[in-house]
Amino acid sequence: MRQAPVATVVGALLAFSVAPAHADTNSTPPGAPCFKNNGNPCNGNNGNLGQQGNVNGGTVVVGDPPPIDISMPPVTDRGVFINQIGDSNDADVVQTASNAYARVDQNGSDNDADVTQSDTGTAYLDAAQQGNGNFARVQQSGTGQNVLYATQDGNNNWMWSNQIALGAVYNGARLMQTGNNNDMSLHQEGSDNLALLKQDGNNDGMTAVQIGDGNRLQWTQEGNNLSDLQVTQTGGASTGGQLMIAQSNGH
């Protein structure tokens, strides 16, 4: 599991099958990411091999987030749906969780989705890749509930998400990438954490970590080459766990 070093930004700174499909999700992403200039994390470089997180921070607006609505659908047993249109697309799903649902739609060429749903809790994933050369790695685990909606629309985008549910209230996230060569990473560990992350542009970088309970993060990037602010939240309103960030530079 990749553990990126992160700085803290807080406060006002502010096809169905019931049998599991198996794959090795611990290997390095395909396409030699360590040598690609698109921000793919590897070898401890925090994903900033390219311009992501290094240039053109643009305008940053920070405030309190509006309510974030991410629903957790009911899940019983295990189910995998995979829909592929195009050439050389790869979708790998491993399910060992008690209750797990995964849907992966791929339309284009050379897209890769790598999914693991494990432990004793409940996992729900709805992921879509539109374009070419997109990569998404999703890990959902723990004793509670995790839900993730993920979309990539463009080329050579990279997305990594790790959700660890440890409480009675589910963790939820909606991750969206539109454009090319964007880099997004989310780690949720605890209970009742919600994140809405959106990139609209090219060569943008985004790293978010939510630890503890009751975090809320809404983060939007609109423009190109926007810096990765590397946000960490450690639980609840009193410790900076309620945050809205808008970055832009007019493309």
pLDDT band of residue 200 (cuts 50, 70, 90) is very high
**Has residue 204 been placed in a domain?**
yes
**Has residue 17 been placed in a domain?**
no
**Has residue 113 been placed in a domain?**
yes
Read off the pTM.
0.80
Q: Is the pLDDT of residue 55 over 50?
A: no
pLDDT value of residue 167: 94
**Has residue 166 been placed in a domain?**
yes
- For the record, the structure tokens of 209 come out as 């970590």
pLDDT value of residue 57: 57
Domain count across the chain: 1
d(CA 67, CA 77): 31
d(CA 129, CA 104): 8
Mean pLDDT (the chain, rounded):
83
Range of the domain at 219: 63-248
Torsion over CA of 214, 215, 218 and 224, rounded to 10 degrees? Answer: -160
Q: What are the Cα distances from residue 55, in Å, to 75, 178, 183, 205, 227?
A: 43, 19, 14, 10, 6
Residue 153, domain CATH: 2.160.10
**Has residue 51 been placed in a domain?**
no
Instruction: Determine phi and psi for 11, rounding to 5 degrees.
Output: 55, -145
**Has residue 14 been placed in a domain?**
no
Q: Is the pLDDT of residue 37 over 80?
A: no
**Has residue 31 been placed in a domain?**
no
**Has residue 207 been placed in a domain?**
yes
Q: Is 158 helix (H, G, I), strand (E, B) or coil?
A: strand
d(CA 49, CA 63): 30
Strand order in the sheet with 59-63: 59-63, 242-248, 216-222, 194-202, 171-180, 145-155, 122-132, 99-109, 78-87
- The residue-averaged pLDDT of 67-84 equals 96
d(CA 104, CA 83): 6
